[in-house]
Amino acid sequence: MSDSGGIPQEFVLRTDPAVIDDLRARLRATHWPEGADGFGWTLGVDVAYLQELVAYWIDEFDWYAQESAINRLPHFLVEVGGLHIHAMHVKSASPAPALPLLLNHGWPDSFWRYLKVIDLLTDPAAHGADPADAFAVVVPDMPGFGYSDRPIGAPLDTRAVAGLWADLMGAFGYDRFVTAGGDMGSHVSRFLALDHPDRITAVHRTDAGVPVFTGDPADLTPSERAWLTGAAQWGAVEGAYAAMQRTKPQTAAVGLTDSPAGLAAWIVEKLHGWSDCGGVVERAFTKDEILTLVTQYWVTGTIGSSMRTYHANAAIPLEQHARRVEVPSGFSIFGGDVVRPPRAWLERVANTVYFSEPERGGHFAPFEEPELYAQELRTFFRRYRQV
């Protein structure tokens, strides 16, 4: 087993009331842009919707109720790589042996991505599923996200995070485990499989990231060429946020750290654009669910450090993107997600032994469609429980 890191210490989420008082005061003092009406979501966030959300945030949203609900799950701080990492570690309620599962979040989220799916995975019998499909679940916040420490000095890329997570799982007593993720979490899962194949039994992902291909396009199938073209087109229309976060994250961080309405605009526009909500964000998330995520970013002050991870990832050498995952890999490509890869591409980049295309659910599938996501994980990982 690799270095197991520090001993997990119990942790309770606790926010100083003065922070919430300051938050509400800033929200009341928001300077709204002129000419905001009539554009809807066509130019970015729908300002009329955001004004409605901010009014709810000021007068009705109960952060402490949300914090209390989250605290019902077991939280820990673990020192790995010189950083204190926040992670939930939820053991199985099933009498059957549980498969250790590491879940990796992306941006703009945190452990929040998996809050709805944890009980489904750890206690399947309570939800009408087979108790033999139980998992013991670990859900960490990446460095610079949520309640984990910010990296000291340069931000960490997803390959470095994968190395930390190998030690984190050792600290929780797991030598061999399976892993799953989406968005940046897909990259972390991929690097765990690439760099720690002796620790990873199987890996599940909900996307393949933005495609990187340096070979001859003639070697690609028609579906792969269409995928590359579509990804480039999506980046041209929707990728301004990523360009900013890759190149000048600190400029955006100043405004987003100072203005909670600005922070909400930056995050909610992605919840709307990347979810399977049919253009109505509250078909996928309630106001309370949205504001739980946004308030978490506010009280932890992590929007800047989370964005700097894009800058770090942009420096990952091309040869790292070209490596093929040989650990058995499963992909669930949800119908409402963005930039959906074809199976031919997945088989090119990974030892793809499972491929599924659920009709419902988008980029935040574990939160949008928790029962469906849980079933995907149960189905794929079932064959690896005795490995």
Residue in 149, 169, 8, 12 with CA at minimum distance from that of residue 77: 8
Residue in 143, 64, 79, 134 with CA at minimum distance from that of residue 105: 143
Q: Measure the CA–CA gap between 93 and 325, rounded to whole angstroms.
A: 32
Say if CB 183 and CB 338 are below 8 A apart: no
* Structural tokens at position 356: 């599924």
Q: Measure the CA–CA gap between 275 and 271, rounded to whole angstroms.
A: 6
Say if CB 189 and CB 180 are below 8 A apart: yes
Name the residue with tokens 């995070």: 161
Say if CB 102 and CB 90 are below 8 A apart: no
* Structural tokens at position 69: 């609900």
Residue in 375, 382, 374, 373 with CA at minimum distance from that of residue 353: 382
Note if 84 is an active site residue: no
Note if 363 is an active site residue: yes
Q: Could you give the angle at the alpha carbon of 288 between the alpha carbons of 283 and 294, nearest 5°?
A: 100
Mutual angle of helices 260-274 and 47-59, in 10-degree steps: 120
At 255, which amino acid appears?
G
Q: Measure the CA–CA gap between 109 and 106, rounded to whole angstroms.
A: 6
Q: Measure the CA–CA gap between 115 and 117, rounded to whole angstroms.
A: 6
Q: Which of 114, 241, 310, 373 is catalytic?
A: 310
Residue in 307, 260, 12 with CA at minimum distance from that of residue 150: 307
Name the residue with tokens 């995520």: 293
Q: Measure the CA–CA gap between 85 and 79, rounded to whole angstroms.
A: 6
Q: β-strand 135-140 against 325-332: which pairing, if any?
A: unpaired
Q: Which of 46, 133, 141, 183 is catalytic?
A: 183
Q: Could you give the angle at the alpha carbon of 158 between the alpha carbons of 80 and 83, nearest 5°?
A: 20
Phi, psi of 332 (to 5 degrees): -115, 105
Counting every residue, how long is the chain?
A: 387
Note if 183 is an active site residue: yes
Active site residues: 183, 310, 363
